[in-house]
Structure 1
Amino acid sequence: MTSMQPFWWLALPVLLLPVWWHMRKRERTRTDILATARFLPAAAPQQQRVLRWSDVLLLLVRMALLFMLLAWLAVLVMPWKGDTVFIDPSLESSPWAAQQVQSAGMGAAAREPLPADLWNWLARNEHEWRPEARFLILAPRAAMPALPPRLAHAAELRLAPSAIAAQPPVAAAATPRKRHVVVSAPAERLPRWQALFAAFSTAADGANLYLLSDTPTTDTELIVWDHSGNEPPASWKAPLWWRTAVTNGQTQTPEGLAWTAPQWPLHDVDAARALYERWQAATAQMSPYPMPAQTLKAGRKEPLAAPLARSPEWLALALLALFAIERILTHARSR
């Protein structure tokens, strides 16, 4: 068993409360004077305190009830999972994955889908696995974490060859990334901007879908302000602006980064392509450094204590059952 909140066990002395209560309890018995007592000399009654255990079953149930309450507060977890294979859905049906499972001797191991944040997820949830359990991780690629993973279980990371990893999963149909753009331009120039962003939506195999609107929102990443004499509203903000100005340039403003040009390339294909590539390079997300395949030994004796861990359901059911038994025994004793 693993306790995720071990400080609650410091309250174990409360188990002595039922013992103290039972020892202080006194039973009053009715005293009847015998008829022949009149012939005996009078004597002052003497009382002798005798320690006698009574209602032992009720005492044990109350102590067990308090113990289960502490176990519930301490988040006592019983590890029940064994060897597990974490596999990426794109490799589920590949012969390579089956070969790796057999070569690792984990043919009878349970299988679970690969979590998105693998190492942090394992650190938070590995208390559910038995101490001798092993992890086999099959993935097309893995991001290198900032710090080396330290788990309480041995884990082996195996990466699929490039020929297998390059195959897109069947269910992963390309869903274009929606990118919100605000275009403010004269009515005669607005169709040209619409045609330009429609062409941008077909670039890169349709990986991006550019949605045009009139007013910015929190999702807006680009504002096109095609007015040479007017200023945009002060409330408009976006990470990037395309504005008409006398010269080409790049200026950081309180509203966002502004790219300026005297005339935007709405007809020149080469200039539009250069603008698109510059935009994508400026907003491209950094790719994490790949993690090589390796075997990780257990770096901890026990799993990390999870501050937000919850007690399992069986502890709550046991607590409820003991409470019901205690009430029944108390009622039966008072009858």
Structure 2
Amino acid sequence: MISMLQPLWWFALPLLALPLWWHMRRRERTKTEALATARFLPQAAPQQQRVPQWIDRLLLLLRLLLLLNLIAWLAVTVFPWRGDTVLVHENLGRDVVARESAAAGMASASVVVLPPDPLAWLEAHRFEFRRNARLLILAPGLPMPARRPEPGLALTIRVLPPAGTEPLRPAVRHLVLATTGEREPQWRAMIAAFAAAGERHEIAQAPTPETELVIWDRPGDPPAGWRAPLWWRTSAPPAGAMAVASAGIRLAVADTSQGRSWSSPDWPAQDPDKARAIYEAWRQLAFEPAPYRMPSAEFRASGSATAPEARPSAWLALSMLALFILERVLAHARRN
């Protein structure tokens, strides 16, 4: 209840007229004595006019700022103004947004383009929403957060396919296979086993800018102009290589001028289990982890969203203290 009444403090802004009225009504009280020659002058009521000085204007300004700061501190400067809102992904069509909004009973809600991190945006702007506001997020998918979201508002997340998208195709990995004729069938059989993970592999004779892996299974060194992010070598590891064990595969890893080099006695694989272990080592050490997508979910409203409104910003309290000290110093200097 207190947090709901806090914005009403802004209606106290007319109190700023009090310092103005006080400064206009203030008059100097001085002791007056009649002169001996005053009897020759016509009688008239004494009038006094005080000329304001610069310190008076500064003191008036400080008192106005102090009162304004106090009102802002009481109102916490946050006024919940947002109602029902639909956050949509930019790739969704208008017809899809209209259909889903109507199905959720939010046809008249305002539409906002989905920010890069919707959950973090809601956490930072949740005090802008009224207590009874409802939120609907329409997106192809959101990264799963580390902990369960607690928006405090009625929130519905619906995962929808973007408009005009084609069915997902397997990822393509560009490889270069440089080996002997005797061992090439073994390497190709191992690469074909990788397709069970839902990927396609294109094998070329020389590296291109898209090449991710070069398999060098020949005697001698590769051409100096070949470059790739990752190399698989069957030769002895270079000096300074670091021993690594991943997914049951023994590796010697070293960074060279041509790319990162992996040397292992475990390839090419002779059976599917060994091929699966090699692929797992490749995925864990070379591929960026794919984020886990958040499914559709609903969150009920709770009272926790408006509780932090009772905590004013620290800078408001510090500025009010500084204004009060300056006002007292100037008031004392004015009297003396």
TM-score range for the pair, normalised by the shorter chain length: 0.3 to 0.5
Q: TM-score normalised to the size of structure 2? A: 0.47
